[in-house]
Structure 1
Amino acid sequence: MKKYIKPKEASEFLGVSVKTLQRWDKEEKFKAFRSPTGRRYCTKEQLFEYQGLGKNDKKNVIYTRVSTPNQKDDLVNQKSFLLNYCAGKGVIVDEVISDLGSGLNYKRKNWNNLIERCFKGEIDTIYVSHKDRFVRFGFEWFENFVNKFGTKIIIVNNDILSPNEEVVQDIISILHVFSCRIYGLRKYKKALVDEKL
């Protein structure tokens, strides 16, 4: 998060409208600073203080994920690898969060909870072993999103792929999504046929 925060960014962080922030400023509930041209702004310290969060209250988190239950050994390996990395860097890990589910699934409970906590300004840094452990598509979008709220994502073992290899990985992921949908449609169609009989 930048040192000086515009009203729109502050409103997103606090979960209120810009007009509410303007009203709070007039009521001195959340007093804004003014630029030389009269524009309102606030600081990240103000936002954290308003939310009851001090700088030291933000947490360093390890996030691990596997797609299926038979990969649970990999969860242990990810956790061990990331804990060793953080220990080597002198980073105190406050929490380890794990999920079981596809990287294409945005309904992962623990992942969604983690994003919500970033939005509230509770998370300082997320340590992940690979981009696709966090999210399969749109990693850069999520990285930019949480950055607005003062959270960094550190990819510890980011395998550098050539542009061709990245395209192949993306195509495989897309095929996987659509093959799952087709399978789901077949089950749905069978259920309809059975219902008519």
Structure 2
Amino acid sequence: MHRYVAIGEASEVLGVSITTLRRWEAEGRLIPERTAGGQRRYDLAKIKPELFHAAPQDRKTIAYARVSSHDQKDDLERQKQVLELYCAKQGWTFEVVADLGSGMNYNKKGLKRLLDEIIEGRVGRLVIAHC
């Protein structure tokens, strides 16, 4: 399947008419790319991302816990316990990712891993404790 498609194929994928796609473009709701010759090309990864990412049932649940300082280690453990209990009670298969460090520091190993997993489309649900 091609990622960029002409208006006819985009209308089939979305289940709407070509006229609807043109109207959405005029309203600014869905803006296609244009070829050098002015032809519309629709990015299927944007309009139907599920065609390019894992199905929701194949995505994982991640529970994320973080505290800002080492003297809050006990709080981090409590957050992890709360997240584990909540996810287990929902019947979800899950993974806990935890970080210790300031919210101003974005170079945290757990946060980087979490963001990479989300960007790659492998996370279907994110659970965060706010304490």
Q: How does 1:75-94 map to 2 (within 5 A)?
A: 75-88=76-89, 90-94=90-94
Q: TM-score, normalised by structure 1?
A: 0.44
Q: How does 1:24-43 map to 2 (within 5 A)?
A: 29-30=2-3, 32=5, 33-35=9-11, 36=18, 37=22, 39-42=41-44, 43=48
1:50-70 CA-partner distances (Å, limit 9, x unpaired): xxx233221111101122223
Question: More strand by proportion, 1 or 2?
Answer: 2
Does the 8 Å contact 2:64/2:96 carry over to 1? yes
Does the 8 Å contact 2:80/2:96 carry over to 1? yes
Does the 8 Å contact 2:84/2:96 carry over to 1? no
Q: 2-side partners of 1:103 and 1:97: how far apart?
A: 15
CA RMSD of aligned residues (A): 2.2
Does the 8 Å contact 1:62/1:93 carry over to 2? no
Q: TM-score, normalised by structure 2?
A: 0.64
Instruction: Report the residue type matching 1:92 in the other structure.
Output: W
Q: How does 1:39-118 map to 2 (within 5 A)?
A: 39-42=41-44, 43-48=48-53, 53-88=54-89, 90-118=90-118
Which ranges in structure 2 are unaligned for 5 or more consecutive residues?
Answer: 12-17, 23-39
For residues 58 and 46 of structure 1, do their structure 2 counterparts lie closer, same or farther at Cα, with a shift above 3 Å needed? Answer: same
Does the 8 Å contact 1:60/1:123 carry over to 2? yes
The alignment-based identity, stated in percent, is: 33
Instruction: Report the residue type matching 2:51 in the other structure.
Output: Q
Instruction: Report the residue type matching 2:49 in the other structure.
Output: K
Q: Which has the higher contact order (CA 8 A, sep 6+)?
A: 2
Decide which moves more: 114-123 or 37-46: 37-46
For residues 30 and 39 of structure 1, do their structure 2 counterparts lie closer, same or farther at Cα, with a shift above 3 Å needed? Answer: closer
Q: 1-side partners of 2:4 and 2:107: how far apart?
A: 37
1:62-121 CA-partner distances (Å, limit 9, x unpaired): 101122223222111001112222233x24142100111101111112101211211111
Q: 1-side partners of 2:59 and 2:109: how far apart?
A: 21
1:137-189 CA-partner distances (Å, limit 9, x unpaired): xxxxxxxxxxxxxxxxxxxx6xxxxxxxxxxxxxxxxxxxxxxxxxxxxxxxx
Q: Which aligned segments of 4 or more residues in structure 1 are displaced greater than 4 angstroms?
A: none
The alignment partner of 1:64 has SS state of strand
